[in-house]
Amino acid sequence: MNKYFYKGTNRIIVLIILLFMFCNLKAQTDMDAIMMNKNQFCNGPMYNHASWDNYWEGKLKRDNQNLGTVTTQSIMYNVNYGITGKLNIMANAPYVWIKASAGTLHESRGVQDISVFVKWKPVTWVKGKNKIAVFLIGGISTPLTNYQIDYLPLTIGLGSTNLISRAMVDFRHNRFTVTASAAYILRSNVKIDRSAYFDTELHLTNEVKMPDAAQYQLRTGYRGKYLLAEALLTNWTTLGGFDITRNNSPLPSNRMNLTTVGTALKYTIKQFPHLSILGGANYAITGRNVGQATAFNAGLFYAFYFKSNTVKNFKN
Amino acid sequence: MRAIHLFSAVLISIGIISCSKEIVGRTDNTPALAPVNIDLNAGIWKTILLKRPDTFAVNSPAPVGSPAYIAEINEIKGLQQNISSQQKTNIQYWSAGSVLRWNEIMRELVAKYNLPPYQNDDGTYPFPSAANPFAYPQFPFSNPPYAARAYAYISAAQYDALVATWYYKKMYNRPAPYSVDSTLKILVPKTSLPSYPSEDAVVAGVTAEMMKLLFPTEIAFIQQKLEEEEKYRILSGANVRSDITAGEALGRQVASVFVARARADHAGAAIGTPQVWSNFVSTTSARGEVPWISLEEPKRPPMLPLFGNVLPFLFDSSTIAALRPGPPPSTSSDDFHKENEATYAQIKNPTRDQNRIVQYWADGIGTYTPPGHWNAIAAEDFIKQNYSEVRWARNMALLNMSLMDAGIVCWNTKYYYFNPRPTQMISQIKTLTGIPNFPSYISGHSTFSESAATILSHIIPARTAAYEAMSHEAALSRFISGIHTKLDCDKGLEVGKNVGNYAVQRALIDGAE
């Protein structure tokens, strides 16, 4: 290796940095109050790890020595683009693998669902140091592969195509924020590999009626220039469905409810603000027909501008 | 502006997806049964347990012109004044066929009760008790052998009861109400079959009586179904009340013969005792073979280990041992090791289609079991054949006696050799569906399936290739799921074929062909 090589490499890196304009990096998911600036593009991977020993069979909490610890891991690729500062579009898709530590059941793995969201911030009120913004988020998620869905709890997904409509209000006082949102998830029916199944009655079809669901989230914390730290309270409620009967296997149409507490952290590197590091954790405090999972995640976001546009100020 | 467009797009998609989520079962809209042949002479078909078709007397009905009969016609007219939408739904449901609908109800109950009991705190397991059926675990645990036997008893009893019914129908030759009074509305297809006693009431009565034994916690549910069906027959103008009363009574009487047999067929002792369970281990070890062990935690006692001693329908008990195949290779042999290695190779990188086949045929806990799956296959084909009720019952009885006897020989073989599962021999074998809690050799799915395919191919020869393909796929599903060796499945198919042939032999001489 000679010094010219290093020189050249450094130049390329500098060029890349110049091309990818300075940008404001915040979590940018469908559930937070962060918007990307116009023409700003952000992308990166996120790793998620969730595991549980106990689950709720209906409302009854139990363990299962024939499953041991069930661990789901995924790597999700996210993209996010600012059409305008008030209208963002984002998408993600994970590769998921899941296994049980005990018993004899085979693991599952594969590419799961793609999700696409449009996030709109139509209204913002500012008064002094207080700011209130309203968001509307619409999205769709659908399986990217024909993965097996009737193999709970070791399936990688539930297989339905979902339409998600979310309303969100964000209040901010200086760096302190409170964000509340509610979503309605319209879920399509799913087709399983069996030609009949029993939920509360026998169905002579492979089609399973999926109840819709609602999701609520309250998040609060600090939203600084480089650091974002929030506490989360999240609830998923299935609007219908039925309970797993004693010692039975689950079905995708079970009444799956889950309330978790957690935290979301994000740090944008001061010296290299294209790059953000994300991390978070969640713990299930109550549920129904789901595992009591402890989850954590970690990810990277890299941001740049598609078009060479005005350099935005680093503002929140 | 762009935002508004995007949001309208989302709203429109919501409209599309939310149109209708109601699901329709394959037999929900089955048209009313209109048999191509009423089988008027079925009263002489060979019965299974009844000595004679008139073992139970049915009194001669009131003449059609009598005041009693006219009162019954007036009852129909009164009911027909106001037919509710619920009643119309009932007519639509039940007119598809009594044997069909009761078969579906039975499959539903099997699926509902096919749940292995949860363990006690000390790691032992409770067992359902027929004497105390509502206590956890509820009685029964309708696992595959239990289910096979339940389907067989109910189908066989329905068949005998309907042969008796046809005997009296021809003898008394009472015309249907709508033939007597042309002002009645007719809400079912017309038939020239005499109406006394009502075949629907017979099937309802015999089934309800059998269910007291087989599903004692569902008596109230069954009674409600029976009343629905009987009401539909009167409301639709198909039967007068005395057809119903006589039919239900006859059905219940015929059931008593089958209940008496069931109480003495050794199924009650099939669960075994701790002594019986440990004897399997010691006798297998004494032969120098590795004995089967439960792969569940905590270790669960083997499923119905003495089911292989249950009294078969199609042959006598001494034939069971003759139908049992020779032993699998010794657990210490290279051949046995190779069989298990071949199973291991299957599950290393399962394809999506492999999983589809496995799940399609898995019929594990919470399902109507492999025998129930073959009932579903048969029923959906029988619908297209437009059989009379008595022929429906005859074909279902042949199918289910075949499945039960296949279960008996299979279970007998499983516990005779007490052969370990592939996963017991190679612990890295993870299975694509749950491993059943009983020995490996021979495959139950394969035995059940080929016994069913054999008799169904005799009943509907045009479907032979399809039945054989299904049976072989069912067998394959157990190999590619890591549950069985290929040998387990091949031997199961062989035994199933031999058992199925007994049903074929009976079909050839029962007078229905």
H/E element, B479: helix B464-480
Among all chains, which residue has been given the structure tokens 């279960």?
B407
- Provide CB contacts within 8 A for A66, sequence distance 6+: A100, A102, A103, A104, A105, B296, B297
Mean pLDDT, rounded, for B444-458: 98
Candidates A35, A119, A185, A198, partner chain B, best to mutate (most B CBs within 10 A): A198
What does the alpha-carbon distance between residue A43 and residue B364 come to, in Å, rounded to a whole number?
44
Cα end-to-end distance, chain B, whole Å: 75
Whether residue B356 and residue A147 make contact (CB cut-off 8 A), yes or no, is no
**Residue B348 in contact with partner chain A when CB distance is under 8 A:** no
Note whether A165 contacts B22, CB cutoff 8 Å: no
Q: Which of A102, A192, A209 sits opposite B297 (nearest CB)?
A: A102
Contacts of B112 in chain A (CB under 8 A): 198
Q: At what angle do helices B98-113 and B144-172 cross, to 10 degrees?
A: 160
Residue tagged 């062989």 (tokens)? B494
Q: How far apart are CA B26 and CA B169, in angstroms?
A: 32
Contact B6 A120 (CB under 8 A): yes
Judged by DSSP in three states, B494 sits in helix
> Tokens 């915040």 identify what position?
A26
Partner-chain residue, chosen from A66, A120, A136, that has the shortest CB–CB distance to B297: A66
B-contacting residues in A 10-49 (Cβ below 8 Å): none
Whether the pLDDT of residue B3 is over 80: the answer is no
* Cα of B319 to nearest chain A Cα, Å: 35
Is A315 exposed, middle or buried, given 0-12, 13-18 or 19+ CB atoms closer than 10 A?
Answer: exposed
Per-residue buried b or exposed e for B251-285, using 16+ beta carbons within 10 Å of the residue's own CB: bbbbbebbbebbeebebeebbbeeeeeeebeeebe
What confidence category does residue B480 fall into, taking pLDDT thresholds of 50, 70 and 90? very high
The tokens for B354 are: 């492999």
User: Burial of B316 by CB count in 10 Å (0-12 exposed, 13-18 middle, 19+ buried)?
Assistant: exposed
- Dihedrals phi, psi of B464, to nearest 5 degrees: -50, -50
Q: How much is the pLDDT for A26?
A: 40
pLDDT score recorded for residue A260: 97
Among A135-144, B14-23, B384-393, the range scoring the smallest mean pLDDT is B14-23
Cα dihedral B146, B147, B152, B154 in deg (nearest 10): 100
pLDDT of A209-231, one tens digit each? 999 999 999 999 999 999 999 99
Query: In this predicted model, what pLDDT tens digit does every residue of B121-135 receive, in sequence order?
Result: 999 999 999 999 999
Interface of B with A in 117-146 (CB under 8 A): 117-118, 136-137
Lowest mean pLDDT among A14-28, A92-106, A232-246, B248-262: A14-28
Coil, helix or strand for B508? helix
Q: What is the DSSP letter of A243?
A: P
Distance from CA of B349 to the nearest CA of A (A): 10
Q: For residue A12, what pLDDT band results from cuts at 50, 70 and 90?
A: low
What pLDDT does B18 receive? 54
Identify all chain A residues contacting B7, using CB atoms and an 8 Å cutoff.
118, 120, 136, 138
* Residue A151 near residue B38, CB atoms below 8 Å: no
Looking at residue A30, what is its pLDDT?
85
For B101, how many CA atoms within 13 A lie in the half-sphere containing its CB? 25
What pLDDT score was predicted for residue A29? 77
Q: Is B483 on the interface with A (CB under 8 A)?
A: no
Cβ-based contacts under 8 A for chains A and B:
138
Among chain A residues, CA nearest to B28: A204
How far A107 CA sits from the closest chain B CA (Å)? 8
Q: Residue A309 above 80 pLDDT?
A: no
SS3 content of chain A, % helix, strand, coil (to 5): 5, 60, 35
Question: 10 Å Cβ neighbour count for B508?
Answer: 11
* Beta strand A113-127 pairing with A60-63: unpaired
* Cβ within 8 Å of B, A 156-185: 161, 163, 165
CB B390 within 8 A of CB B155: no
Q: Which residues of B are less than 8 Å from A161 in CB distance? A: 17
SS3 B454: helix
Provide, as residue numbers in chain A, all residues whose Cβ is less than 8 Å from the Cβ of B480.
none
| Cα three-residue angle A303-A304-A310, rounded to 5 degrees | 130
Say whether A204 and B359 touch across the interface (CB within 8 A): no
Whether the CB-CB separation of A40 and A81 falls below 8 Å is answered with: yes
| CB burial string A248-281: b at 16+ within 10 A, e below | bbbbbbbbbbbbbebbbbbbbeeeebbbbebebb
For the segment B319-375, what is each residue's pLDDT rounded down to a tens digit?
Answer: 999 999 999 999 999 999 999 999 999 999 999 999 999 999 999 999 999 999 999
Specify whether the CB–CB gap between B258 and B156 falls below 8 A: yes
User: For position A155, what pLDDT does the model report?
Assistant: 97
DSSP code string of B377-427: HHHHHHHHHT--HHHHHHHHHHHHHHHHHHHHHHHHHHHHH-PPPHHHHST
Which runs of consecutive H residues, i.e. helices, occur in B173-217?
177-180, 199-214
Q: CB of B42 within 8 A of CB of B161? A: no
Task: Name which of A49, A62, A48, A108 is nearest A290 in CA terms.
Answer: A62
Report the C-alpha gap between A299 and B232 in whole angstroms: 64
Say whether the peptide bond before residue B325 is cis (omega within 30 degrees of 0): no
3-state per-residue secondary structure call for B286-301 = HCCCCCCCCCCCCCCC
Contact criterion met (CB < 8 Å) for A150 and B359: yes
| Closest residue of chain A to B361, computed from CA coordinates | A194
Query: How many CB atoms are located within 10 Å of the residue A116 CB?
Result: 17
Q: Would you list the DSSP string of A57-122? A: ETTEEEE-TTT-SEEEEEEEEEEEEEEETTEEEEEEEEEEEEEESSSSBPPEEEE-EEEEEEEEEE
> How far apart, in whole angstroms, are the C-alpha atoms of residue B211 and residue B489?
33
Q: Please tell me the predicted confidence (pLDDT) of residue A175.
A: 95
Read off the pLDDT of each residue in A112-126 and give the average, rounded to a whole number. Answer: 97
> Averaged over B438-463, what is the pLDDT?
98
Model pLDDT, residue A78: 95
CA angle B376, B379, B384 (to 5 degrees): 135
In chain A, the percentage of residues whose pLDDT exceeds 70 is 88
Element (H, E) at A262: strand A257-268
The residue in chain B having the minimum alpha-carbon distance to the alpha carbon of residue A250 is B366
Tell me what ipTM this predicted complex has. Answer: 0.95
- Where is pLDDT greater, at A313 or B317? B317
Q: For residue B313, give the nearest of B506, B57, B90 by alpha carbon.
A: B506
Instruction: Tell me how far apart the alpha carbons of residues A60 and B251 are, in angstroms, rounded to a whole number.
Output: 43
pLDDT at A36: 87
pLDDT band at B289 (very low <50, low <70, confident <90, very high): very high
Contact with chain B for residue A188, Cβ under 8 A: yes
Check B366 against A248: CB less than 8 A apart. yes
Residue-averaged pLDDT of chain B: 96
Q: What is the mean pLDDT of chain A?
A: 90
